[in-house]
Amino acid sequence: MGQIMKQGLVLTAVGVVAGLAGALGLNRLIASLLFGVQPTDTTTMVGVVATITMVAAVACWVPAWRASRLDPNVVLRED
């Protein structure tokens, strides 16, 4: 279960870093689309990163948990 979680969260970390780099790189475009929030608002960035990370963690944990409850002998016999 830990291996599956690690793989999923590593991909999430890569995506978050790429997204933050893109958001900071496209700062001027984003500034024209936002009203009342600065494009580099720390609170907003932290909130978005935390939300994405939590959703990704749950999305990795649920299938890993379900797979860990299966008997390997039964699964291998069915293949």
The alpha carbons of the chain give a radius of gyration, in whole angstroms, of 18
In contact, 4 and 64? CB cutoff 8 Å: yes
| Residue 11 confidence (pLDDT) | 95
Give the pLDDT mean for 44-62.
Answer: 94
What does DSSP assign to residue 57?
Answer: H
Residue 29 and residue 26: Cα distance in Å, rounded? 6
Instruction: Please determine, for residue 79, whether its predicted confidence score (pLDDT) is greater than 70.
Output: no
Q: Tokens 């790429």 belong to which residue? A: 18
At 78, the pLDDT band (50, 70, 90 cuts) reads confident
